[in-house]
Every structure is written in C-alpha cells, then in structure tokens.
Amino acid sequence: MTDAARVAVVGARGTIAGVAATRVSFHRYESGLLSAAEMADALRPELDEVAEVTAADFAGDHHTVAGLCALTRTVERTPADAVVVTTGTNELAELAYWLHLTLSRARPVVVTGALRPWTVIGSDGPANLYNAVLLAASGRTRPHGVVVMLNDEILAARDAVKSDTVRTHAFQSPGAGRLGTIDAARIRLQRVPVPDDRWTPFETSPEEIPKVEIVPGYLDAGPETLLAVANTGAAGIVLSGPLSPRQKRAARTLAGNGLTFVAAPHTNTGAAYPQEDAVIGTDLHPPKARLLLMLTLTCAKTPAEAKQIFTRESPLPVPGEDYAPRTSGEGVSLSRPVARNVVR
C-alpha cells in the first residue's frame, strides 16, 4: 500500500485476545492467549488495505500503577503514525483515560477491546480491531486525545464507561454522547470535545504517584473506612456518592490533616458539587477521578493548585515557576519544570 499510515497495535491481553473451548462458549474462555500479531495477521489482507500495521504485546502488568506508567512509555516510544491499544473491557475505560492524561497528542491513539473472545461465532473482536486501525490510520481523532472504539462507536476516553457486563454495546458516554461512528469504511465524527489550548500531559514515574483510594457514601455509613484509608498513608480520597453525617465529620478532620478529597457522582450522569470547601467536585466516574487525583497530587503544591489542575485536567503552568518548552511532532507546547516527574 503506497503512502499508507503506519499503525502499531500494542496488545494488553483481555477478552479480545481470548480463546474459548468451543465456538459457542461466549462467556467461558481463557483471556489473553492470542498475541497482538496473531490477531492482526488474522485480519490480513484486509488490514493491509487500511494501513501498514505492525503488532507487539505489552510486557508489563497494566493492572498496576507502575504498569500503567510503563504502558505510557511503551506507547509514547512506539515508532508509528498512530497507535491502537487492545485490552480487557474491565479496565479499558480507566486505561484509556490514563493514556489520555499522560500521552502527548502528537498522534492518534485508539483503545479497543471485545466482549466476546476472538474464537467464538459472532465475536466482536475482529471487527473492533479492524475499525480501530481504520480510525487510527485516518488521523481524524488526533486533536481529541485518546479515544475508545467498540461496537462501531467512537467515544472520548474521558467520558467512556462500561455499562454492561456481556452485551457488545457495553460502552457508552452517559450525558456526553459518542464522538461518532464507523459505518463500513466511513468515519462519521458527530461532535468533538471542547478544546483546551493550554493542555499539557502529566509526566510521572511510579515512585512519585501518591496513594489514592475510593470510599463510597451511603445511608448511615460509619467513618471507619475513611479512617482506615487515611491510616494506610493515602494522600487523597475520592468520595463516591453522598456521605453520611458521620462520614462528613471524619472527612473534615482528615482534610484538616492534609488529605485531599474529591467528590464524584455515583450515578451514570451528573456531577458532584460538595458543600465542603476542602472538597473538589467533578463529573468524572470515581475510578477515573481517582486516576486524575493521583496524577494531580504529583505536581500540586497547595489545595488551590490541586483544584486548578484537577478541574482543568492538565498540569497548567504555575505563576512564578520556570517552564521550558517541550517539542513534539506538532511543534512546541507548555510543559512543567524539566526537573520534575519525568517518565523514565
């Protein structure tokens, strides 16, 4: 294929790479058995008509913070015009948002997976991988950061959530809606996220990322979970849902001791607007709010700065600090101080 886009597939296991005992074992299978190269080769020659595709497996454990940092480094250093990451759907929404926060936006990155293993009748894996490569090769989502592509639908990494455990239309963006669709070879972008010209990616190393946990709020909940999390050395807590009166009292005390709190909605849509001054509100689902808070606390020096960074979802320049320009394939962007939090 002449002048074809170079697309690299990075495989991170999951159902999409799963093998079932029979062709109708839709929910009984062993995940992650197929390599990224095996899946890509199964789609040739059709895949070769879309892009120049290479494939390799991610060697780390993306279920850990250290593994996520390594995945960011792997994707960033992969030589290609665009990257497709395949992974399991249980962690897909968090993994995609992590990459969205930590990767530069010099090229498209598309995350995909499947609800059925590769080897069963009617598997959504082959179609999802093909469409993800098609979308990545088009370059049309590059300005929007990392996107998710499943079931012919394109979703922003920030908004995508898993809403069903087995249906192939499991991923949705409640409240925000999808970015677009893929109809055969036609990519339809129906909306775009609000641009932020001052966006810069978080740059982190595993040892610098503080511990953050999620604590649910519910009727007559006691303070024990909040206190236990604080005693483990956590630097922040995401509050999922409205707190009970006893939880509120404990949270006030802990905030006074230096813990950072984020209130996240426990519903599919809407935002949490806390009454407490020391708590940051968000419309992110709790697991994504946790990731963002972890990254925010690597560079925030004060509660006010943490709120600014968290609500903008980018480590914006802080007045009075020296910032060096960082070059990318698309030119120059603002970056945090060179000496701090660099991916290694």
d(CA 150, CA 328): 29
d(CA 142, CA 112): 16
Q: Which amino acid is it at 335?
A: S
The domains of the chain are located at: 6-189, 206-318
Q: Are the CB atoms for 265 and 244 separated by under 8 Å?
A: no
In this prediction, residue 317 carries a pLDDT of: 62
Distance of CA 91 to the CA centre of its chain: 9
In this prediction, residue 79 carries a pLDDT of: 95
Q: Taking the alpha carbons of 230, 232, 292, 219 in that order, is the dihedral positive or negative?
A: negative
Domain 6-189 maps to which CATH number in 3.40.50.1170, 3.40.50.1820, 3.90.580.10, 3.20.20.60?
A: 3.40.50.1170
* Partners of 30 in the β-ladder: 19
* Partners of 110 in the β-ladder: 84, 147
Q: pLDDT 10s per residue in the chain (344 long)?
A: 558 899 999 999 999 999 999 999 999 999 999 999 999 999 999 999 999 999 999 999 999 999 999 999 999 999 999 999 999 999 999 999 999 999 988 899 999 999 999 999 999 999 999 999 999 999 999 989 999 999 999 999 999 999 999 999 999 999 899 999 999 889 999 988 777 667 789 987 888 999 999 999 999 999 999 999 999 999 999 999 999 999 999 999 999 999 999 999 999 888 998 877 778 999 999 999 999 999 999 999 888 899 999 998 998 764 444 433 333 333 222 233 322 232 32
Task: Please report which residue ranges of the chain form alpha helices under DSSP H.
Answer: 36-42, 65-77, 89-102, 125-138, 224-231, 245-256, 286-296, 303-312
- Mention every residue, 6+ apart, whose C-beta is less than 8 A from residue 325: 332, 333, 334, 335
Q: Taking the alpha carbons of 236, 242, 245, 247 in that order, is the dihedral positive or negative?
A: negative
Of the candidates 122, 98, 115, which has an alpha carbon nearest to the alpha carbon of residue 24? Answer: 122
In this prediction, residue 326 carries a pLDDT of: 32
pTM for this one? 0.90
Fold (topology level) of 206-318: Rossmann fold (3.40.50)
In this prediction, residue 327 carries a pLDDT of: 30
- The conformational region for residue 23 under phi > 0 = left, psi -120 to 50 = alpha, else beta, is alpha
